[in-house]
A and B are shown apart, each in its own frame.
Chain A
Amino acid sequence: MNDLTHLTIADALDGLAARKFSARELTDAHIQKMGAAKGLNAYITETPDLARAKADASDKRRASGGAIGALDGIPLGIKDLFCTEGVLTTAGSHILDGFKPTYESTVTSKLFDAGAVMLGKLNLDEFAMGSSNKTSYYGNVINPWKRKGDNTDLVPGGSSGGSSAAVAARIAMGATGTDTGGSIRQPAALTGTVGIKPTYGRCSRWGIVAFASSLDQAGPIARSVEDCAIMLGVMAGHDPKDSTSVEMAVPDFRKGLTGDIRGLRVGIPREYRVDGMSQEISDLWAKGAEWLKAQGAIIKEISLPHTKYALPTYYIIAPAEASSNLARYDGVRFGLRVPGNSLDEMYELTRAAGFGKEVKRRILIGTYVLSAGYYDAYYLQAQKIRALILKDFTNAFQDVDVILTPSTPSAAFGFHENEDDPVQMYLQDVFTVTVNLAGLPGISVPAGLDSKGLPLGLQMIGRAFDEETLLRSAQALERAANFTALPAGV
């Protein structure tokens, strides 16, 4: 009975508890559907045997009355940026050829300890660098959504494009993602799914292939705000192995979903009305504010004056950190090695063959802005503007509790659009990147379809470590939007 793949995680947990179906049946339903959805290329590695064994173990736990985890028996997809013990981990890159970690990332450990079942490793932009999932060495991921009456393949967003496509196509009940500049929220918006990037420090980064360490955060993509709350509750928490993970109790996010937003102050940042914003996005944004107001929220216009500088600031800081983080891929300790006559030649040939075009571009920019003579002009200036962007938010949060913005400047686009100019592609993250620079939590909720029948998302931004208010607000938005559309054939 394939209907099982359409359940939310919350409903599946209820169904498992009531013995309406087994974890094995739930997992098998997904594995079967994965077989039919291979054309999406959402998974790089499928692990059906492992999944069945874990599902059987979950059923045994329930049958024997053993302790049941918060995600016991729930089949999930794992972005292939998380190291998984004994299972190929590629980061979407040729340079990690054959890499099977001998350890498990903290976030995936927590998920598996809670009983989650891994269906496989999900495709992504190479080293999480991209907004379309076009930079993966393992090929494009196809968005299950299509424009009305048009069969053109569309991107699923990126970098967590395999995650968003899989959750939308019902070949995972939820998925892990990571978000450095919008890589959870933008793909969620483009696929009609919910994705939350928690506050920096909320989830451990240990065992996640690093892109830009001061910006990277893990978070879930799922089909409802409640499902995201359940997953995040498991993924979050202090980890001594990541010195930037914060020693702070993890609230019961699900319990915080009270449905009551009366008196909630919602900020509408005027600087997010960017030039050339489509009428559809602008209307949807206004509608979102109306929906919240109708439930008792107070809408306030706010100002975040340095918004327009966020993207260029990001394109200094993220490549700078990436150029340093990716120095470790040198053909010595893991992955690809291209032989050379000298050590330097081996490094250069290995990195030339192993990295794709976009990754090389970013390493070169990062190397340039950190190089002697340019450090102050670029990197230091960007770090100062980052401080101003954070200050904008700190000021705004004196007057409001959450902020409402569009998630993306457009719906899903075709593979050959936004292709000629890298900057055009970077603009995909114009509404999401500020949140990473400021370390705040942000969530994208599907809010409607555009005139071509494609999903559009609205983003809400919260105070640092106040995911509870953020999730509660997002659920109010979700309830009003009542997004029930499905991609054709799913």
Chain B
Amino acid sequence: MSLDSKTVANIATLARIRVPEADLPGLAQELNGIMTWIEQLNEVDTKGVQPMSGVLARDMPRRPDVVNDGGDPLKVLANAPEPAHGFFTVPKVVE
């Protein structure tokens, strides 16, 4: 498996990171180096092994379904780059 510039451009779009065209080949080469090193995992026989997403072998705890936080919009907005009228703002998304 080899990552080409086109694949890297696609991943970068998925990750919402702008990568200049000129940087794509170099980046592809770097990522390829890492992925080639990772390929060694294919030699491990994992037939019948349950995948593990975390080390805690228990169900997530539940809490009572009640509101226990919130009601402080000023704190929520305190670090927003351009808040307006008590909201976050983004560029226009609907024409």
Interface residues of A (CB under 8 A from B): 98-103, 200-201, 214, 240, 243-244, 246-247, 306, 308-309, 312-313, 315-316, 323, 327, 330-337, 339-349, 351-352, 355, 360-361, 363-365, 367-368, 371, 377-378, 380-388, 390, 421-423, 438-439, 464
Complex formed: what's the CA distance from A365 to B3 in Å?
11
- Supposing A312-B40, A384-B50, A390-B55 touch, asked if A367 and B34 sit within 8 A by C-beta, the answer is no
A306 contact set on B, CB distance < 8 A: 44
CA distance A371 to B93 in the complex (A): 26
Contact of B51 among A342, A345, A387 (CB under 8 A): A387
CB-defined contacts of B33 to chain A, threshold 8 Å: 421-423
In the complex, which residue of chain B has the Cβ closest to the Cβ of A374? Answer: B1
Is B93 touching A343 in the complex (CB atoms < 8 A)?
Answer: yes
The minimal Cβ–Cβ distance linking B45 to chain A, given in whole angstroms, is 9
Partner pick for A343 among B37, B56, B91, CB 8 A cutoff = B91
Contact among A343, A355, A361, A382 with B30 in the assembled complex (CB-CB below 8 Å): A361
CB distance from A104 to the nearest CB of B (A): 12
Q: Provided the pairs A214-B54, A312-B38 are in contact, do residues A360 and B17 lie with their beta carbons within 8 angstroms? A: yes
Residues of B51-95 at the interface with A, using a CB-CB cut-off of 8 Å, are 51-56, 60-61, 63, 75-76, 78-82, 88, 90-91, 93
Size of chain B's interface in residues, with CB distance under 8 A? 47
**CB atoms of B15 and A387 under 8 A apart:** no
The binding surface of chain A is classed by DSSP as helix
| Smallest CB gap from B79: residue in A | A334
Contacts of B78 in A (CB 8 A): 100, 102
Most chain B Cβ neighbours within 10 Å, of A323, A339, A347: A347
Which one, A335, A341, A348, A371, contacts B17 given CB within 8 A?
Answer: A348
A317, closest chain B residue (CB) = B53
Query: What A residues does B16 contact at CB under 8 A?
Result: 327, 330, 344, 347-348, 351
Question: How far, in angstroms, from A333 to B90 measured CA to CA in the complex?
Answer: 10
Would you list 30 pairs from A and B whose C-beta atoms are within 8 A, ordered by A residue?
A214-B54, A243-B60, A244-B54, A308-B40, A309-B41, A312-B40, A315-B34, A316-B38, A316-B41, A327-B16, A332-B80, A332-B90, A333-B79, A337-B81, A343-B93, A351-B16, A364-B15, A364-B31, A368-B35, A377-B42, A378-B38, A381-B42, A385-B46, A385-B49, A386-B51, A388-B46, A422-B34, A423-B34, A439-B56, A464-B55
- Nearest CB in chain A: distance from B53 CB, A: 6
